[in-house]
Structure 1
Amino acid sequence: MQENGNRPLDGQVVAITGASSGLGERMARAASAAGASVVVAARRVERLRDLAGELPSATAVRCDVAVDEDRVRLIETALDRYGRLDGLVNNAGVSEPGPASREAVETFRRQLEINLVAPFALAALAARAMRELPGSARSIVNVSSIMGLRSTAPMPEAGYVASKAGLIGLTRELASQWGRHRIRVNALAPGFFPSEMTDGLVSADGGAPHWITGGTPLGRLGRPEDLDGALVFLLSAAASFVTGHTLVVDGGFTTR
C-alpha cells in the first residue's frame, strides 16, 4: 500500500468504529500499516482484542455507537491512552433489506440511528476534542455507500439508502461548518465488497449476481485492499485541501 517505506499516518491516532470484522477490520489494519496508532471500536470486544493484539499500537474499546455513554468512552479512551486524536472513521453500520411497503418504521428508524445519528454524535465529540489539540491532523471520514448516491434496485433498502444519503449530506455540512477549525470531513462510498453486511449477496471468492458484476465496468467485486489507499489518503496530509468530498470506490458501478 505504501511506497518506499512511506508511513503517511505516522504519529497519528485514529479511532475506527465497526472494526471487529469486514471492512472495518481492514481499515484498522490499513491505518496501522500507514503508521497510525488505532483505537478500534465495536460491540464484539473479544474480536477487537484479537485484532489489537496483532497491531503494533492499538487499543480495543467496546462500543455500541447507538449508546451515548459508549461514544463518549471511545473518544475519552483515545485521549487518555494516547493524548491526542487525529482521525475518526465512522464505519459502523447496519442494513436491513426489505420492500419499503413492508418495512416497519422502527426498522427504518434503527438504521437512521446507527448509520446517521451515531456518526453525527461521534463526529461532534471528535471535533470538540480535535479543536483543543494543537497539531492534530483533524480528519473525519464517514463511511457511506454508493447506495447513498443511487437506488438499490433490485435490492430494496429504503432505510439504508436514506441513512447513507443523509451521511453524505451531513459530511458536506460538517465540512462547511468546521473548515475554519481546520477539521476536514469527507465520505468514503464503497461499492460492492464481500463483508458480513453483504453476506448472501456476494461471496468472498468473488461470486455475485450478474447485475452487480455486469454493471461494474471493471468487471469484479471490490477487494478489501481496494479501500486501503482511499482511506489513508483521506486521513493523511496528502488530502489537506480536500474536504466535503465523497470518494467513490466502486469499480465504476455508479457510472452506469
Structure 2
Amino acid sequence: MLTSRIISRSSKVATATTSRLTTPVRPKSIYSIRPITCSTKLYKEDKRQPNFASRALEQTEDDHEGAFGRTDNTIRIEHPDEMEHPPSKPIQGRGGLHFKRTLASFTMENRTVIVTGGARGLGLVMSQACVISGADVAIVDLNKDEGQRQADELMKHFQEENPGAENVPKVTAHYCDVSDNESVKSTVAEIVKVHGKVDHLVTSAGFTENFDAIAYPPDRLRKLWGVDVDGTYFFACEVARHLIDRKAKGSMVLIGSMSGAIVNVPQPQAPYNAAKAAVRHLASSFAVEWAHAGIRVNCISPGYMLTALTEKIMIENPDLHKQWTSLIPTGKMGQPEDLMGAVCYLLSDASGYVTGADLRVDGGYTIT
C-alpha cells in the first residue's frame, strides 16, 4: 500500500514540473513525502467527528443497519411432540411409467435403502424417490405406525402408477430410537433379516427448535444432539460395518442443512446449527475413512423447505416466512420434491466418483 502511494505522488510531482516550463522547479524526492500518520491533531479531529463505524455503533434498536442480520431472542419454537406432528403425504404424479429417457446409472433396482426419519417430511419424499428409482426401502421412524402407513401408501402408489409392473419395490417400516446405539444395532439387524442386505443409507432423522442459547433447556439440547448427531453417527457406522462384513460397495447420504454453513436469522438456533455442521463434517470424515472399502458418503444440505411442519410454523409466524424468502435469491422456499433428484444422484452409480461432497439445495441462500 505504501509503494502505490509513493508512485502516485511521484507522478503528480513530475506532471507539475513539466507544466511549469517558465519557472523550473526542482521536483521533491519521493522519499520526502510525509508518511501516513496518527498524530495527536488528527486523533482529536476524529474524536470531534466520529467515523461511520463509530456512528453505526450508536444506532438504536429501531434503526435498520444490521437488523436483518441478527437473531431475535424473543422467537421460541419447540419441536412438537410425536402425536402433534402433522402427517405428510406422498408426492402425487412423480412416479408412473418412465417414457423419458435417462441415464441407466441412476437406477437403484436390486438395492435396499434405509431412510431414517422416513415417515414424514423430507425423509418420506426421499423414500419415495428411492422407490420410484426401483429400490427396496426400509423406513425407520420413532413412530412405527405412521411409518407402516406410509410404507403401504408408497407401495400402493407405485402399483397404481405402474400397472403390470413385474418388479414391485418392497417397502417396510421399522421402529428405532436413533439416539440409542443398541436400538440402532437391533433395527439394522432386523432390516437385514427382512430385506437380506442393505446397500444405501439416508439419515433424515433430525429436528430443530428455537431458543436463544442462554435459555436453551439442557435436556432439550441433549435430545437434539442425540437425534441429529448421535443418530447420524450410529446409523452410518452400523451400515458401514454391515457393508464391510459383506465386502460390498455402498453409498450413504447424510442429511445436513445450510444451517451447518451459515447462521440463520432471525430465529436463534445455535445447537441445531452446530449439529448440522457436525453432520457435514462427519460425511467428509467417513468418506475418507471408508473409501478403501468402496463406501461413498456424501451430504445434502437443504435450505428452507416447505414441509407440513414448516408450513404450520409459517402460518403461526407469518413474519418469519417474509424474512426468510427475502434472503433467498430465488425468492421462494424449496419444495420437498426438490430433493428427489439430489438423493437419487448421490446414492446411485451416477455419482460413482463423488464422495465427501456437500450438495446444497437452498435456492442460493448460502452464496449471498
> Which TM-score bucket, shorter chain as reference?
over 0.9
**1:25 paired residue among 81, 101, 124:** 124
Paired residues of 1:13 and 1:78 also in contact (CA < 8 A): no
Q: Which amino acid aligns with 1:237?
A: D
Which residue does the alignment assign to 1:8?
A: 107
Check conservation: 1:108, 1:158, Cα contact below 8 A.
no
**Aligned partners of 1:91, 1:77: CA distance in 2, in Å?**
19
Kept in 1: contact 2:249–2:293 (CA 8 A): no
Alignment partner for residue 182 of structure 2, among 56, 61, 69?
Answer: 69
Contact 1:12 1:137 in 2 (8 A): no
Classify the secondary structure of the residue corresponding to 1:130. Answer: helix
Query: Which residue identity lines up with residue 9 of structure 1 in the other structure?
Result: M
* CA shift for structure 1 position 53: 1.3
Select the structure with the greater relative contact order (CA < 8 A; seq sep ≥ 6): 1
| Unpaired stretches in structure 2, ≥5 consecutive residues | 1-93, 156-168
SS at match of 2:354: coil
Match of residue 213, structure 2, among 78, 95, 100: 100
Instruction: Check if 1:88 corresponds to 2:88.
Output: no
| CA distance in structure 1 between the partners assigned to 2:364 and 2:249 by the alignment | 30
How many Å apart are 1:104 and its aligned residue?
2.5
| Letter in structure 2 aligned against 1:29 | Q
User: Structure 1 176/58 Cα, relative in aligned 2: closer, same or farther at 3 Å?
Assistant: same
Is the contact made by 1:96 and 1:107 (CA closer than 8 Å) also made in structure 2? Answer: no
| 2:267 counterpart of 1:155 | yes
For residues 117 and 197 of structure 1, the distance between their equivalents in structure 2, rounded to whole angstroms, comes to: 23
Partner of 1:53: 152
Amino acid at match of 2:314: V
| Residue type of the alignment partner of 1:231 | V
1:187 aligns with 2:280: no
Question: Counterpart in 1 of 2:333?
Answer: 221
**Please, which of 24, 28, 42 is the counterpart of residue 141 of structure 2?**
42
Deviating more after overlay: 36-45 vs 63-72: 63-72
**Structure-1 separation of matches of 2:215 and 2:311:** 22
Matched-pair identity in %: 30
Q: Which amino acid aligns with 2:268?
A: P
Structure with the greater alpha carbon radius of gyration: 2
- Note closer, same or farther for the CA distance 1:207–1:49 as it changes in structure 2 (3 Å cut): farther
| TM-score with structure 1 setting the length | 0.92
**Moved runs in structure 1, 4+ residues, more than 6 A?**
none
User: Aligned partners of 1:224 and 1:185: how far apart in 2?
Assistant: 21
2:178 and 2:230 in contact (8 A); partners too:
no
* Higher share of residues assigned helix: 2
Paired residue for 1:167, among 260, 279, 282?
A: 279
- Of the candidates 227, 246, 252, which is equivalent to residue 140 of structure 1? 252
Report what 1:178 is aligned to.
Answer: 290
Distance in 2 (CA, whole Å) between partners of 1:8 and 1:208 is 39
Matched, 1:235 2:332: no
1:113 aligns with 2:226: yes
Q: Quote the Cα distance in structure 2 between the aligned partners of 1:207 and 1:223.
A: 20
CA shift, 1:232, in A, is 0.4
Structure 2 CA distance, aligned partners of 1:126 and 1:69? 14
Q: 1:20 to 1:150 in 2, by over 3 A?
A: same
**2:360 counterpart (242, 248, 253):** 248
8 Å contact from structure 2 (residues 144, 173) kept in 1: yes
Q: Classify the secondary structure of the residue corresponding to 1:77.
A: helix
Tell me which residue corresponds to 2:73. Answer: none
Contact 2:304 2:333 in 1 (8 A): yes
Counterpart Cα distance in 2 of 1:41 and 1:209: 30
> Could you tell me which residue of structure 1 aligns to residue 236 of structure 2?
123
